[in-house]
Structure 1
Amino acid sequence: MFKKPPQVKSSSNVKSSERRHLLTEICKQFHIKREDLTKDQELALLPAVTKQATYHSIQEHKGTIYFDGDERPTWFRVRDSHLYPTVYTLWRAGYLLPVILTNPFVISRIVGNANLLLPGCIPPFDKRALRGALVGVASYDSPTVIKAIGTCSLNLTQFDDVQDRQGTAVTIIHRIEDELFNLYEGETAPESVDNTFPKAPVSTEDVSTEDLTTETVAQNEDLSNLDNPASGLFEHNNQEDTEDIKEADPIEDLADTVEELAVDDLDNFFIRSFLQSVKTCKIDLPLSSSKFMSDYILKNLPKMDTKFANIKKTSWKKSAKFLKALEKMKYLTLKGKGDDVNIVTLTVPQDIIRDFVTHKTIEASKASGAANKKASETKMSVLSLYKPTNKSRVIFNKLNLDYQKLYPAHELKEIMNKYIKEADLASKKNPKLVALDSALSSAANISDSDISRDKLFPQFLKSFSPNYTILAPGATYDSSCVVKKGDPKKIKILTQTVLGRKKTTTVSDFEHFHIKPQLLAEDLKNKCSGSTAIGPSKHNPAVLEVMVQGPHGPTIIDYLKEKGVPISFIDFEDKSKSKKKR
């Protein structure tokens, strides 16, 4: 199903009432008594911070993917089907599915987009492994670690021996290393998983095993009924779809309404944020509306749930309308037309500023938690590494050094000086001068007989092929780091005018700086108070870019700096400004 990368829209947090609905649905679908779950087991099934995002794929799959707070996919559903766990969830709750065992070679073929054939299975089979049932696939050497999930294409319980048998046993839906799995990086399969059921899902005195397996099959018929010839993952079923459409519980909806902040109160909070900014901050004018909102208004909002810190949740909906409302209150003066306005002067009466009582802000609460972080622990580092080429092979052979290893620049300088010393190439009269021999002349591509050391090393470095790795804040270089060839690309930020006067800002080439597209889109939506979208870059379709409505270049630069991206690796271009007429 996920052979090609799904086009995932930006994710949004699931409300507490929706999360309760999801957890109830999971417990009902997999026959779990919610009261039997411990807190850790409940969070393993569905994390406290759960996000959702819609997606579509090249094969015309459409559905919803659920993520945890680290953007790790935990569940997904296709169209209006039941929920299906990802392998990440099954590594924390292995008891959810019956397991079909196979051997490591077959697992490698499944990873290569193959289905599980009957001869590759290892009996005996779980009694729930009936046609249409959702099952997990694992290797016999780690039987509790599920590597793929799929639907049974055959009634596997009828087979005691699979030799000389033919047919597809399990049609794979999702597996390790597919494009759904690759949405998250940084977790490998564990050695073993605790697959002990929290408690017997159904009393054996009331319901027989056959009834239980029949119900399991019925709950998975919706997936086998999907008609998708492009992927060839599903089989057609002649039975009619009998899935009932679930209606929302009005009591839960009412509880959710109570949890929402009233629009009038939120409007008042934004006005208080403006007054607090004027009273406590030094504001250099003139200032663009986006810069003013991100640097002052959003940072000086009263301490609250961050999901409300969005101009779209107010009655004004847009930053420009909010500022124009302040202008009508004679608190400031604006210059510009439409949504592109600048704050020129602040005209708040002094008695209002004097009597205003300041409040604790969102930014202050964030700063208190991060005050102890050192600058070195919050900044990424770009490490340049160099690999020897044939030009320098002789030098490495004479010094008995590893020719295949990657070296940082300072180590190569030490190697060059060591070779100069052992070959006795330094001038007796002036040690800064070096008399080049054939090996060093070839490595540096210099024909001069004598050259100073400071001019020699840059030429010597050019004979090595460049590589790089980007270290996360606080990380150090080791063998597990991903090294890429060439020089690191800069993050490109482009503001341009589209469809007449509408301005957008796009960000690309950011993924190698450990920034996920979904997380970037969600953060920019909140920081810039504008809608965001994720899609392939127009210049290079293989690269994803995030687009946000409005001119937000400086705001995005500040965001990337907060993420630890060095300013030297950020490239900003503003094409939205019209050229002056002569």
Structure 2
Amino acid sequence: MFKKPPQVKSSSNVKSSERRHLLVEICKQFNIEKENLSKDQELALLPAVTKQATYHSIQDHKGTIFFDGDEKPTWFRIRDSRLYPTVYTLWRAGYLLPVILTNPFVISRIVGNANLLLPGCIPPFDKRALRGALVGIASYDSPTVIRAIGTCLLNLTQFDDVQDRQGTAVTIIHRIEDELFNLYEGEKAPESVDDAFPAAIKQEPETDETEISDIANQGPGIKDTDADPVNDLAEAVDELSAEDLDNFFIRSFVQSVKVNKIELPLSASKFMADYILKNLPKMDTKYANIKKTTWKKSAKFLKALEKMKYLTLKGKGDDVNIVSITVPPDILANFVTHKTIESLKSSSGAVNKKTSDKMLVVSLYKPTNKTRMVFNKLDLDYQKLYASHELKEIMNTYIKEAQLASKKNPKLVTLDSALSSATSTFDPEVSRDKLFPSFLKNFSPNYTILPPGGVLDASCVVKKGDPKKIKILTQTVLGRKKTTTVLDFEHFHIKPQVLAEELKNKCSGSTAIGPSKHNPAVLEVMVQGPHGNTIIEYLKDKGVLISFIDFEDKSKSKKKR
């Protein structure tokens, strides 16, 4: 279905109410009891930040793709059909689909756009693998890692042996390395996936404040704060209700007890300032106020905790002190810590440093016949790619070993036949500073573009020549209306959906994604208005050098004679 790149329009955030309806639809479609889902499992199914965008494929398929906050596709649907999970979602919720096993060779054929034939299947089959059922396909050497999804064309449960059988077992809908999968880069298939179906969650004895039982069951046993999806939950909601804030304040209390040594007794105001407000989940600071909760006052909040038997107070009215904390050990053991407002403030410097990471264009050079003799005499690999500083070191090493430096003036080099051929220079003596540019010209240029934080290794894709320039064009359409289009940007690790979304905010104008008029195989992003300079600055901030940007302004009217 996604053999060719889909034309995806710019994405927009799904409202929290729409997200809840979407989650209910997913649970209903895949026979999941929503009440059995832990918070981790719920966010694995549908991230707190969910975006949607419509798409149109070359095969005339129209539908909707859902993304997470990093523009990773999570679900898709064709027109008003059922929802289909992407392999990215199935790597986090492997229990969603029955799995048909095959061998690695068949997986490679499926990646090459083939369907799954019956002889390529490995019995026994899941009882859900009936005609018309949506199934996942995995290799027997990693049976929980789904590599493709498709629709069963046969009742596979009737087959105990597939030898000498014929026919197509599964029609492939989506797979790894198709164009839907390639909308996101940076995640490789895991070694294994937890495919346990969500079971009923054991609840603590309920009290008047049921929020605590929710807290105890948000990802029991997980200790890694970076893996906690609650970290970004407060940021994902447009408007926090008082009930949501109540839950966040209770979480803050439990986290304060778990990660801090609290010396008692302690006044209510001191406890709120030193612990509760500092341990609130990461959110807009305007909500970090007890007055926005249903309790309105610190004393009422603490008395609610006392009613839950989590602490003991002493005093009357609003003048109370905490004299003991009695949170059950199992609640503390199962509680999943979250990133806090305080940690966000203290790490702002590190965040700024992280955001300064940019993509990097790495130039690499391959020796040619003209330079072969230099590499042969130094016994170096002639087929290898070299960076410019390595080539400069090679040239200097050759000059030293061949004793070509002038004795009267070390800045001058006497050329022998090998170095003369390698530099296309035939003067008897040449200065070192002029020699290297001539030496470099006789190498075949190559390049690779590293994403932010990327490193140069064997997995990098190296291409011949120089990177194609990003084209920016401002022109007048429909009389006085001006638009700016950007194309040839995807090889710089810039996704069309991300570019459209960010230009929409930076340029304060509507954006659209579509095929280029000059080359329909290439996607372009259009933004209303003359924003060439703004887009250039945006690209420079991303790490794109100005030498790789080609800007043309056709909107300026020609002067009349």
The alignment's TM-score, normalised by the length of structure 2, stands at 0.72
Q: Which residue identity is paired with 2:34?
A: R
Equivalent runs, 1:331-342 vs 2, <5 Å: none
Contact 2:7-2:523 at 8 Å conserved across structures: no
- Report SS of the residue matched to 2:95: helix
- CA change 1:368–1:14 in 2 (3 A) is same
- 1:173 is matched with 173
Q: Aligned pairs, how many?
A: 428
Counterpart for residue 149 of structure 2: 149
Task: Report whether the alignment pairs 1:401 with 2:380.
Answer: yes
CA distance, structure 2, for counterparts of residue 172 and residue 147 of structure 1: 11
SS of residue matched to 2:185: coil
Aligned position for 2:296: none
1:502 maps to 2:498: no
CA contact (8 A) 1:55 1:65 kept: yes
Which amino acid in structure 2 is aligned with residue 80 of structure 1?
D
Aligned counterpart, 2:106: 106
- CA-based RMSD of the aligned residues comes to 2.6
Q: Percent of pairs identical after alignment?
A: 84
Q: 2:405 pairs with 405, 412, 426, which one?
A: 426
Amino acid at match of 1:496: Q
What is the distance in 2 between the residues matched to 1:38 and 1:375? 32
User: Equivalent residues in 2 for 1:463-502 (5 A)?
Assistant: 463-502=442-481
Match of 1:20 in 2: 20
Aligned pairs (5 A) from 1:62-211: 62-199=62-199
The letter of the residue matching 1:436 is L
Cα gap change, 1:385 to 1:257, in 2 (>3 Å): closer
Q: 1:565 aligns with which of 540, 544, 547?
A: 544
> Per-residue deviation at 1:580?
2.1
Q: Structure 1: how far apart are the matches of 2:20 and 2:349?
A: 32
Q: CA deviation at 1:541?
A: 3.5
Aligned mates of 1:559, 1:536 — CA distance in 2: 22
Give yes or no for contact 1:379–1:566 (8 Å, CA) kept in 2: no
Relative to structure 1, the CA distance from residue 47 to residue 506 in structure 2 (aligned partners, 3 Å threshold; closer, same or farther) is same
Give the aligned partner of residue 326 of structure 2: none
1:472-524 CA-partner distances (Å, limit 9, x unpaired): 34444333333222112332221111122111001122222221110111111
CA–CA distance in 2 between the matches of 1:383 and 1:97? 42
- Work out which of the residue numbers 525, 528, 535 in structure 2 matches 1:546: 525
1:8 aligns with 2:8: yes
Distance 1:257 1:471 in 2: 34
Matched position secondary structure for 2:147: strand
Contact 2:468 2:488 in 1 (8 A): yes
* Cα distance change of structure 1 residues 527 and 257 upon mapping to structure 2, 3 Å threshold: closer
Mapped partners of 2:426, 2:538: distance in 1: 49
1:430: how far off? Answer: 1.6
Tell me, in whole angstroms, the C-alpha distance in 2 between the residues paired with 1:474 and 1:163.
49
After superposition, give the CA deviation of every residue in 1:428-454 in whole Å (9 maximum; x if it has no partner).
212222221111111111222222212
Bigger shift: residues 375-384 or 493-502 = 375-384
Per-residue displacement from partner, 1:522-543 (whole Å, max 9, x unpaired)?
Answer: 1112222222111233344333
Change (3 A) 1:151 1:381: closer
1:129 alignment partner AA = A
Q: Distance in 1 between matches of 2:349 and 2:71?
A: 22
Deviations 1:56-81 (A, max 9, x none): 11111111111111111111111111
With over 3 angstroms needed to count, the CA separation of the structure-2 counterparts of 1:162 and 1:473, relative to structure 1, is: closer
Equivalent positions of 1:427-442 (< 5 A) are: 427-442=406-421
Displacement after TM superposition at 1:574 (Å): 1.7
Separation in 2 of the partners of 1:407 and 1:424?
A: 24
- Cα distance in 2, alignment partners of residues 368 and 492 from structure 1: 37
CA distance in 2, matches of 1:118, 1:31: 27
Query: Which residue type is aligned with residue 508 of structure 2?
Result: S
Distance, in Å, in 1 between the alignment partners of 2:4 and 2:493 is 22
Q: CA deviation at 1:131?
A: 0.6
Gap change, CA 1:84 and 1:379, over 3 Å in 2: closer
1:43-54 residue pairs with structure 2 within 5 A? Answer: 43-54=43-54
Give the secondary structure class of the aligned counterpart of 1:44. helix
Query: What residue number does 2:394 align with?
Result: 415
Instruction: Summarize deviations over 1:131-170 as a string: whole Å, max 9, x none.
Output: 1111111111111111111111011111111111111111
Counterpart of 2:498 in structure 1 is 519
Could you tell me which of 366, 375, 384 is aligned with 2:363? 384
CA contact under 8 A between 1:380 and 1:471: conserved in structure 2? yes
**Structure 1 residues 104 and 396: alpha-carbon distance in aligned structure 2, compared to 1, 3 A threshold:** same
Determine helix, strand or coil for the equivalent of 1:124. Answer: coil
SS in 2 for 1:94: coil
CA contact (8 A) 1:380 1:566 kept: no
CA separation in 2, counterparts of 1:367 and 1:521? 32
Distance across 1 between alignment mates of 2:348 and 2:476: 39
Judging changes above 3 Å, is the alpha-carbon distance between structure 1 residues 182 and 151 closer, same or farther for their aligned structure 2 residues?
same
Q: What SS does structure 2 have at the residue aligned with 1:146?
A: coil
Q: What's the secondary structure of 2:525's corresponding residue?
A: strand
Q: Which amino acid aligns with 1:390?
A: N
Inter-CA distance 140–447: structure 2 relative to 1 (3 Å threshold):
same
Q: Which residue identity is paired with 1:527?
A: K
C-alpha separation between the residues in 1 aligned to 2:418 and 2:22? Answer: 69
Report the Cα distance in structure 1 between the residues aligned to 2:396 and 2:15, rounded to whole angstroms: 63
Partner of 1:535: 514
Q: Is the 8 A contact 1:377 1:474 kept in 2?
A: no
Give the residue type in structure 2 aligned to 1:110: I
Deviation at 1:110, TM superposition (A): 1.0
Query: Match of 2:520, SS?
Result: coil
CA-CA distance at 1:121 after TM superposition:
0.8
TM-score (norm 1): 0.69
Structure 2: stretches of 5+ with no match in the other structure: 202-236, 242-283, 288-343
How far is the alpha carbon of 1:373 from its aligned partner? 2.6
Does the Cα contact within 8 Å between 2:56 and 2:62 map onto a contact in 1? yes
Q: 1:371 to 1:186 in 2, by over 3 A?
A: closer
Q: Distance in 2 between matches of 1:528 and 1:128?
A: 50
Deviation at 1:422, TM superposition (A): 0.8
Give the drift of 1:409. Answer: 1.1
> What SS is found at the alignment partner of 1:441?
helix
Which residue does 1:455 correspond to in 2? Answer: 434
Greater alpha carbon shift after TM alignment, 388-397 vs 370-379: 370-379
Structure 1: gaps spanning 5 or more residues: 202-255, 261-301, 306-364
The answer to which of 466-475 and 437-446 deviates more is 466-475
Code of the aligned partner of 2:87: V
What's the CA shift for 1:257? 12
Tell me which amino acid in the other structure corresponds to 2:150: G
Amino acid at match of 1:51: K
- Deviations for 1:308-344, whole angstroms, at most 9, x for unmatched residues? xxxxxxxxxxxxxxxxxxxxxxxxxxxxxxxxxxxxx
